[in-house]
Structure formats: C-alpha cells, structure tokens
Structure 1
Amino acid sequence: MNARRVSAGVAAAAALLCVAAWAVAQKAEEPAPAAVTTTAAVPAAATDPVLEHGRYLARAGDCVSCHTAPGKPAFGGGLPMKTPFGTIVSTNISPDPEAGIGAYTEAEFARALREGVAKDGHRLYPAMPYTSFARVNDEDMHALFVFFRNGVQPVAQKPLPTKLPWPFSMRGLMMGWNWLYLDKGVYQPDAARSAEWNRGAYLVQGLGHCGDCHTPRSMLGGVKAATDKKGELFLSGAIIDGWYAQPLRHTDRPTMAQWSSEDIVQYLQTGRTGHTAAFGAMVDVVQNSTQHMSTQDLQAVASYLQSLGARPDAASAPPTPSQASLVAAAPQHPTALALRNGTVEGNSGAMVYLNNCNACHRSDGTGANKTFPALAGNSVVNAKDPTSLIRLVLAGSTMPSTTQAPSPIAMPDFGWRLTDADVASVLSFARSSWGNQGEAVTAAQVAKVRESLKPVAAAKAN
C-alpha cells in the first residue's frame, strides 16, 4: 500500500478510530441463534441447478447466521449485535420488495456484496464482510442472486434500523476505510498451484471469510493481511466475540494446519475429531455452514490451510510436535504417571485437575474419542493467548449438532466453583503437561475474562 493511499485513507478514516472494530462482527452480547434451515419460496425452483448452486454458496458464506434473529424466519434480519459503539441490527435479505432486497437488480446486489453499497447508495458497515465477498466470481454472484430472489421465502417485516451515535453514524466515513482496506477484484487463481489448492483459497478468502475472524486487525478495524500474499499475519489468530480464534496456519505451536486432511474435513462436517471439538462462534459456523459443504470442497480448504506458513526448509528444521504425536506419547508421560499414582501436591494445579477434570480428560490428557477433547497437544491449550481456554473453564461450551454427529455434547461451566486462582493453577498445569508448551496463566487473566462474561450472562438471563 503506497504512502499516498495511506494518507488519503487515514484522513477520512481517522475520525472512525475503532468504529470498524466491529468489522469482525463482535457479538459477545447477542443471543446465539440456533441452527437454521432456509425455506424455498417456490418448490418448483428446487430443480433449477443455478438456484441450488446459489443455495450451496449461501451456506458456504454462512449468510443465515447473521441475517436471522432467534426464532424468526430465515434471512429476515433483526439480529442485534451490541458493540461499544452501539447496537448494529442485521438487515432483511429476503426477496421481499419493501422490507428486504427484492427490488435490487443483479448489479445492485453484486455491488452490495463486493463494495458494501446498498441500493439507495448508503455505505454498509464492515460487519458485513464485503471485503472478503469482493473475491466472489461473476458466476457464483449470479447464482447467489438467483437463490436470494427465487429460493428464499419473502419476509415482510423490516428490522429496526441501526442507529449508532455520532460520529459513528456518519456512514460516509466508510469511503476512507474502504480506500484503505477494500481490494476490489475477484479471486485470481495462482497458476503455480493445483486446482484443489486454488479452490480452497477461493473459499477461504472469499465466501468463507475466514480471515474476518482469524486474522488480527488494525486500530481502524481492517485485517492486517487479507490474503496469504499479504503476509504471515493472515489467519494467524485473533480475539473475536470474547474468544481467541485459533491460527489456521503453521506456527511454532500445534495448529489445524498440522492436521490430516481427513481430520480437517471431519471437524468442519461434524464439529469434532478424535482429539478436539468446536466451540464459541465455530459452533454456528459448523451447524449452519460447513457441515453442508461437499467433501471435495472441504478437502480443498484443507489443502490450502495446510500450505499456509509451511517452510521450504521444514525437512531440516526441528518439527513442531503434532497433536497426534503428543497424544500417542501421553500415557507414559511423567504427568500421567504422577496423576495415576496420586503423587501430587495438595494445593497444586494437578490437584484441581484431579478433582474437576480427570474424570473426562483422563490422567494422560487424551480424553475420549469424539466426546471429550484431548488436552495433550491441543491447539487451544497451547495457544499463546489463553482467552478461549479460560472461557471454556469458566462458562463451558456445547459442541455443534450436525447430521453426522447429532449429539450436542457439552462441557459444564466451572466458574461457579473455582476461584480465579484455581482456574489459573489448573490451566497452567494443563499447559505444561503431557508435552504441552503453553505459558502459565495468571489469576489476573482469569479475572479479566470472568468480568467480560457478566454481560453475556445477563443477556442470557433476559
């Protein structure tokens, strides 16, 4: 990005400061929607291959999760997203001509998705990931238009408008933000890569908009690297929704990029593998989006992710231990032997583990296949940022319910019975046991996450 572009963009965008922070669609206080099934408006249209392709693409883009309020018709909008700058309400994208997008032409539809400009010309906030959707090609954009025009039941109710306080209400300021962060142009295949790799890159960078959650952002809310060609920050992990969205590329710690293609596909289809499980925002992603994608497309996604951050000299460099290797060695690890023999200190993290975690995750930290995630080698346990791990212990989580794995197995919350010091000690123990190499967790870190959960608990109570 040249200096002229930066200075011109900052001049308009500086007034936003962090208004685009919710470009990552922070929804820490919103009620989590259940899995939603779209309803066709015209049954006969189901035989239209273009419409069905559009339906598939809408699922790949997970449009329904943000544009459907809990208990309301699909794509009718109205989902409130509370942010530090006010509440953003998702719009109605059903084909109703008054309340929805039924009056949009195909060109206007494409402009909204690729440039963030509505039919009447007002700028959309980047909670709508148009910076990623800009990469969608013309054929797929046409199929999406056909689906939303003919394959969705019109919803006549118009959601409440988004009213942010000044200056965040000045949508025109988004022109400066777009100058900095919107790269126009559909995805261009890399001739040096395979067709499978390019398909995976197209899905991850475009409709999947994975970078919108898994890539860190600047002060102005734009992702620091929009594609793999923009640098190693792409998909390197970021805080979103009060969770730490894990790195999806090779790093110096265990990540999904080390998994086998089979495990990545299984995780995206079911929300679980033999050693780990989805939590947080990924529960909705799996339920409403990736479980509906073809195995071939998910294999392409795996191929692309496995290539990110892979070193050409990897054969000569010390390899980062994989979760599979740590799980295999865990039963004979000194930690496992000490737990089995009961040779642990009374007030230690090991004792907290024995009393609260051992029954499910076992003394060797290997858990139970597709039921209780393994802690040995787990990317969440080893992450540089322990936010997600702390939140899981304090508030618990529930696995997705999918066609292939319908049981929504849950981890209970322990925040009610463990002090901040207890949580810090047991997590520090887990992050340094069975071959794990995570840093110690402090009671102050736990207290910070506990405080952030109070608004979430209040929202659920209401």
Structure 2
Amino acid sequence: MRRLAWILVTLALLLAALAVVVWQLNLRGEEPLASIASFTATPQQVERGRYLALAGNCAGCHTTRGGEPYAGGVAIDTPFGTVFSSNLTPDKTHGIGDWNAAHFWRAMHNGRSKDGRLLYPAFPYPNFTKVTREDSDAIYAYLQQGVAPSPRPNDVHRLRFPYDTQAALAVWRALSFKPEPFAPDASKPAEWNRGAYLVEGLTHCIACHGTRNVLGATEQERGLSGGSIPVENWYAPSLTSSREAGVSDWDAGQIVALLQTGRSARGAVMGPMADVVYRSTQHLSEADLHAMAAYLKALPGPGAAPAQAPAQAIRRDPGVMATGQKVFDQRCAYCHGDKGEGAPGAYPPLAGNRVVLMDSPVNLIQIVRHGGFLPATAGNPRPYGMPPFRQALDDNEVVAVLSYIRGAWGNNAPPLTAQDVLKR
C-alpha cells in the first residue's frame, strides 16, 4: 500500500509539474494589459485598418453570405468539429464594442480573448502574431469606427471532446504556438521584407499552403510546401516547387496579375484561391503586390528539394484511354481544344498544365465534379468558367477522362484510380 501511495503521489506531482509548464508556455510573450480610457483614431488610421482587413481577408471568415459585415457566424469545419467565427462589430453585447486596443492586440498577437479565454486557431493568430502593434491598432480602429454594430449573438462551437476544452487547447498551444513579432531580414531588400511580412503574417498563406501535423498545426519548418485544406477536399499546391505552384521563374508582373485579377499568362486560380483573390488580394496596392511577388519569386529557400528528373513514359490502359478520349471529345474539346491547347484569355490549356500534371489529382476531381469560376475582379470582370459535370459523368467516366488528359499531348502524369475519386 505504501508503494502504491508513493506511485500515486509521484504521478500527481508529475501532472502538477506538467500543468505548470503548460500554463507557463501559454503565457509566453504576454504583457500586462494597459489601462486605456479611450482610443481616438484618425480617419487615416481607420482607412489604413480597412485596407489591412482586406489584406487579411477578415470579412471572408467573419461575414456570412448575405449577412451583416463582420457579424460572424461563418461555420468553419475542421477535423475536430465546427468552429463559428465571432462578431467583430462594435456592438457592446455581442461584438467587440467594449474591447480596447490592448484587448484586440492580445487576441491578434497572443490568441487570447478579452476575458482571458484561449482562442481556437481557426482564427489564424499563429500567423497574425507577426502583425505589428501599429497595424493591429489600425484594424481595431476600422472595426470600431468603420463597421456598423450588429446585435447578432455568437454561435456556440460544435467541437468533439476533448477538443472543446480550454485544457486541450492549452496543451495544443504549448506544443504548437509561440507568439513572436515579424523579424525583418537585414540581408534582404525592403521590398522582400514587406512581402515576407504580408505572406507570413497578415495574408496567412501558410494556413492553406502549409503542411499540417496530426494536431492540425502548420509545420512552420516546411514552409509553403503545400497541403490539403481540411474538410474542403482541395489541395493548396506547394509555392516552393516549380512542379506545383512555385513562381520563381515567373516575371513579377505575371505574379501581380494573378493576385490582382485571378489570371495571368502563366496560370489562373479556382477554388479557395479564387475567393482569396476576390475578397483580398485584388484590393491590395501595386506596391504590396510587387512586394509579395518579390518574396514568392525568391522561394524556394535553402534546403528545398531539387526538381525531379522527367520520368519515363507511363504505361496506360488502352480501354481507359479510349473511354477518356471519347468523353473529352464530347464534353471538353469545344473549350479546351482538340489537342488540349486551350483558348488564350478564356480557357486554359491542358497540355503541359501544372494543375493537370501534379501528383495530387484532388483539384482536378473537384473542378470536374463541381466546376468553378475565376474570381470576378476589376481586371477580369467577366471571367470564363467551368461547368460542373457531377450529374453528367459517373465516377468511371471521371477516372477515364482525367487519366486521358494526364496522359495525352505529351502529358505524363499517373492515371487515376477508382479509389482517387471515391474518397473525394
């Protein structure tokens, strides 16, 4: 009995020590909240905040379709359950009307609410922690003075146990989050540093283009190496690989055009990225877009994997290729051309297209099944689109036509299998 008692006491002490460590790690980088009696923003600060909120695509998560701006309620599905975005309007009961600038800064930089609760990282504070206090104050000023108050109550998150507990969130943060400001690289020019600040912080590109571990945290050391977007069944391609979405060999103007209009001579955007361009990057200044282009062009960084050598021609099932060609001729050739050459300014070529050739066929399956449009932007107000074929093609036909496209006109990507389509 004495031995059992010692074991229990030891375990209790270890658990208590672990709890203290977790508690201390969750307080990293936090400062006492300053007492602010009032916050007087200039019109220039409010306008700056409006611009920064666009850069961060804040409305994309905090405004429901047809709802009041920034009133929250958007359901964000995760592998752990559903998180609902909060009301950011200046309503004093349901919004952030009774917050001061220091409360807002703590949420952005430390991921902690006014009342001290730890926030779920569906709000991307692991990236927003890099935002400067000056920019945080400007966003706060805009939300307080440039947005109409809404009495919409906040929805209760629907997360599975134990993910719905503050204790589990504290452990996650201890393992996966460290608040730290953006650190400029003195060896890089100012334009590159501005691009790094936007890409790594406010525009939080790694939230989609980064790899996530089993706890749902982005693996920062792998950078923008691509990753599956949880629940949405889209793949955000690697920005460090020329075989996926790397732009190191693009002209800066081509990158700017893609971010500003959704289309350039080298590619176009669909799916979740189309929403980013529509709601966010099309509104950025030329200077900021060129800064992002400078940063993205400099990728991949040191240690990136070299490009793979061309593979030998892949052997293909003649029956599948024949079926795929028939479907293509009937459904696709009118827009994309008999030889996959596309139509300049309207329909993208399929021959040599990086989306077609990527190892992951996820985005191709999504586009064929559900269709999609480029974003309607000032530079491309009436974009051409792709109709959905979910009702017109069965799974076998989707497998066949995509296998054909990935193996025709000099393309040499692996064919699809029935399992590729079934799990999507």
TM-score by length of 2: 0.83
Q: Is the 8 A contact 2:207 2:218 kept in 1?
A: yes
* Residue 22 of structure 1: aligned partner: none
Q: Residues 253 and 185 (structure 1 numbering): CA distance in 2 closer, same or farther, change over 3 Å?
A: closer
1:254 Cα deviation after fit: 6.0
Answering whether residue 254 of structure 2 is matched by residue 263 of structure 1, we say yes
Higher-Rg structure is: 2
Distance in 2, matches of 1:279 and 1:364, equals 22
* Residue 239 of structure 1: aligned partner: 228
Q: Is the 8 A contact 2:56 2:203 kept in 1?
A: yes
Distance in 1, matches of 2:202 and 2:410, equals 37
Larger RCO, structures 1/2 (Cα 8 Å, 6+ apart): 1
* Residue 187 of structure 2: aligned partner: 192
1:371 Cα deviation after fit: 1.7
* Residue 214 of structure 1: aligned partner: 209
1:169 Cα deviation after fit: 1.5
Secondary structure of the structure 2 residue equivalent to 1:375: coil
* Residue 169 of structure 2: aligned partner: 174
Please tell me the root mean square deviation across aligned C-alpha atoms, in Å: 2.7
CA offsets per residue over residues 80-116 of structure 1, 9 Å max, x none?
A: 2344543321100011111101111111101111211
Distance in 2, matches of 1:312 and 1:82, equals 34
Q: Residues 8 and 246 (structure 1 numbering): CA distance in 2 closer, same or farther, change over 3 Å?
A: farther
- Aligned ranges 1:97-116 → 2 under 5 Å: 97-116=92-111
* Residue 147 of structure 1: aligned partner: 142
Answering whether residue 418 of structure 2 is matched by residue 443 of structure 1, we say yes
Distance in 2, matches of 1:181 and 1:377, equals 39
1:12 Cα deviation after fit: 7.0
CA offsets per residue over residues 229-253 of structure 1, 9 Å max, x none?
A: x3xx211111112101111123455
* Residue 71 of structure 1: aligned partner: 66
1:419 Cα deviation after fit: 2.5
Q: Residues 311 and 367 (structure 1 numbering): CA distance in 2 closer, same or farther, change over 3 Å?
A: farther
In structure 1, the gaps of 5 or more residues are 1-6, 14-44, 322-343, 450-462
Q: Is the 8 A contact 2:239 2:300 kept in 1?
A: no
Which of 276, 290, 308 aligns to 2:267? It is 276
In structure 2, the gaps of 5 or more residues are 1-16, 24-40, 311-318
Secondary structure of the structure 1 residue equivalent to 2:159: coil
Secondary structure of the structure 2 residue equivalent to 1:347: helix
Q: Is the 8 A contact 1:399 1:410 kept in 2?
A: yes
Q: Residues 313 and 55 (structure 1 numbering): CA distance in 2 closer, same or farther, change over 3 Å?
A: closer
Q: Residues 440 and 193 (structure 1 numbering): CA distance in 2 closer, same or farther, change over 3 Å?
A: same
Counterpart amino acid of 1:439? P
TM-score by length of 1: 0.76
Q: Residues 180 and 164 (structure 1 numbering): CA distance in 2 closer, same or farther, change over 3 Å?
A: same
Q: Is the 8 A contact 2:46 2:142 kept in 1?
A: yes
1:345 Cα deviation after fit: 9.5
Distance in 2, matches of 1:308 and 1:260, equals 13
Q: Is the 8 A contact 2:45 2:141 kept in 1?
A: yes
* Residue 137 of structure 1: aligned partner: 132
Distance in 1, matches of 2:164 and 2:193, equals 39
Distance in 2, matches of 1:8 and 1:385, equals 41
Q: Is the 8 A contact 2:68 2:150 kept in 1?
A: yes
Distance in 2, matches of 1:291 and 1:8, equals 47
